[in-house]
């Protein structure tokens, strides 16, 4: 297959277009600016629509309207921009309309810094907006994964009639490397995909046809409590069927690194160094951070594992809470943390792992 040298944010946008995304609404913020910029160039070439709203709030509500028609659509932002869109996400999750959200994390709290970070883990997995709703949240650690997950996210959004988030740190959004792009969905496929939504989507109707409504209860004439119970069952189902994770060098590991995104990529290189020096270190890498892969952590043998090293670009640590839930406190957890746009070196992770062995 042909490989193409691309930048992360641009590759994500191209993957979305190839998945059939024909509507994008967004607003500029670093480090995701190349996503809307790329869409603004490419959408006219595929008969799609690009809208830059006057703000993040405007953009997410424009997206809400587009999603209600059943068209494949997307928005993206970074950290404080995602926070501004949160109310709109809540409306979309309540109305059960499909869309894809690209969240390219920058430093925080507040406006923070434009450099890469992983300080929006709680935002993505705990409270993407008001009302207790959830997203499927994919967390790629390479550009190829970012492309593949973005492409697949539209299928998941359609399958569950729910927004789906692709959670990246700014490092992956800004880096360049060779990738393989998926095939473009044909016009016939896009017609079929939209037709599959005709039972609920707002597509207009001839006189006498059935009226559709986008409501806080997913278009159903049910109570809000009943709607919330149905959504809760959906989220529970995700935990049973949609969890994704990867393991690295886990067969004989005595110390386990827990990391996602760019932190996992750096950790893999650190593990290679540690292995060369005789240290048995492995890694469990969540590929979905919601639902979280608790099972591989709960299966760790406390008699065999000396400790877990949580590696993330967040101070205080956030991923660690899910790791603790997975291990149920049976295995001690140490941390190697950076934040505010500072990135781990392999040597930092190597030294942090050696300290666990020294104990």
pLDDT at residue number 206: 62
pLDDT tens-digit profile of 161-178?
999 999 999 999 999 999
pLDDT at residue number 214: 85
The sign of the dihedral angle between the CA atoms of 148, 150, 154, 157 is positive
pLDDT tens-digit profile of 300-316?
999 999 999 999 999 99
pLDDT at residue number 144: 96
Q: Contact at 8 Å (CB) between 83 and 123?
A: yes
- The CATH class of the 4-196+228-240 domain is alpha beta
Q: 117-121, 201-205, 242-246: lowest mean pLDDT where?
A: 201-205
pLDDT tens-digit profile of 87-141?
999 999 999 999 999 999 999 899 898 888 999 999 999 999 999 999 999 999 9
pTM, rounded to two decimals: 0.96
pLDDT at residue number 208: 64
pLDDT at residue number 79: 96
* pLDDT > 70 in the chain, percent: 98
Q: Give 202 or 124, the one with higher predicted confidence.
A: 124
**Taking the domains of the chain in order of start, what are their residue ranges?**
4-196+228-240, 246-358
- What's the chain's average pLDDT? 95
Report the candidate in 233, 267, 232, 236 with the shortest Cα–Cα distance to residue 250: 267
pLDDT at residue number 2: 84
Report the CATH number of the 246-358 domain: 3.40.50.920
Question: pLDDT-based confidence at 265, cuts 50/70/90?
Answer: very high
* pLDDT > 90 in the chain, percent: 89
Question: How far, in Å, CA of 133 to CA of 164, rounded?
Answer: 12
Report the candidate in 158, 152, 156 with the shortest Cα–Cα distance to residue 196: 158
* Common-topology check for domains 4-196+228-240 and 246-358: yes
pLDDT tens-digit profile of 35-61?
999 999 999 999 999 999 999 999 999
The three-state (H, E, C) secondary structure of the chain, written as one string: CCCEEEEHHHHHHHHHHHCCCCEEEECCCCCCCHHHHHHHHHHHHHCCEEEECCCHHHHHHHHHHHHCCCCCEEEEECCHHHHHHHHHHHHHHHHCCCCEEEEEEECCCCCCCCCECCCCHHHHHCCCCCCCCCCEEECCCCHHHHHHHHHHHHHHHHHHCCCEEEEEEHHHHHCEEEECCCCCCCHHHHHHHHHCCCCCCCCCCCCCCCCCCCCCCCCCCCCHHHHHHHHHHHHHHHHHHCCCEEEECCCCCCEEEECCHHHHHHHHHHHHHHHHCCCCEEEEEECEEECCCHHHHHCCCCCCCCEEEEEECCCCCCHHHHHHHHHCCCCCEEEEECCCCCCCCHHHHHHHHHHHHHC
Question: pLDDT-based confidence at 15, cuts 50/70/90?
Answer: very high
Question: pLDDT-based confidence at 160, cuts 50/70/90?
Answer: very high
337: left (phi over 0), alpha (psi -120 to 50) or beta: beta
In the predicted structure, residue 207 carries a pLDDT above the cut 70: no
């Amino acid at each position: 297959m042909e490989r193409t040298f691309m930048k992360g944010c641009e590759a994500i946008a191209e993957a979305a277009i190839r998945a059939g995304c024909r509507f994008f609404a967004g607003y500029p913020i670093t480090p995701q600016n190349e996503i809307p910029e790329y869409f603004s160039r490419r959408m006219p070439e595929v008969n799609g629509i690009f809208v830059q709203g006057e703000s993040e709030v405007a953009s997410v509500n424009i997206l809400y309207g587009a999603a209600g028609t059943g068209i494949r659509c997307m928005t993206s932002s970074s950290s404080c921009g995602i926070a501004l869109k949160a109310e709109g996400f809540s409306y979309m999750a309540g109305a059960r309309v499909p869309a894809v959200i690209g969240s390219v994390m920058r430093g925080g709290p507040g406006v923070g810094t434009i450099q890469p970070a992983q300080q929006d883990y709680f935002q993505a997995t705990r409270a993407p907006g008001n009302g207790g709703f959830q997203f499927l949240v994919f967390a790629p650690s390479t550009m190829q994964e970012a492309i593949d997950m973005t492409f697949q996210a539209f299928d998941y959004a359609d399958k569950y009639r729910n927004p789906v988030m692709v959670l990246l740190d700014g490092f992956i959004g800004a880096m360049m490397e060779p990738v393989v792009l998926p095939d473009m969905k044909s016009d016939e496929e896009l017609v079929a995909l939209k037709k599959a939504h005709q039972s609920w989507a707002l597509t207009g109707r001839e006189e006498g046809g059935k009226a559709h409504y986008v409501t806080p209860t997913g278009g159903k004439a049910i109570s809000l409590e009943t709607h919330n119970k149905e959504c809760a069952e959906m989220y529970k189902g995700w935990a049973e069927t949609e969890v994704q994770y990867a393991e690295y060098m886990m067969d004989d590991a005595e110390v386990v690194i827990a990391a996602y995104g760019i932190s996992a990529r750096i950790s893999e290189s650190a593990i290679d160094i540690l292995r060369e020096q005789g240290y048995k270190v492995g890694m469990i890498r969540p590929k979905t951070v919601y639902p979280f892969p608790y099972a591989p952590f709960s299966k760790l043998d406390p008699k065999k594992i000396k400790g877990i090293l949580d590696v993330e670009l967040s101070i205080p640590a956030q991923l660690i809470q899910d790791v603790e839930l997975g291990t149920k406190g049976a295995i001690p957890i140490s941390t190697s943390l950076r934040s505010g746009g500072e990135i781990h070196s392999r040597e930092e992770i190597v030294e942090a792992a050696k300290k666990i062995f020294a104990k």
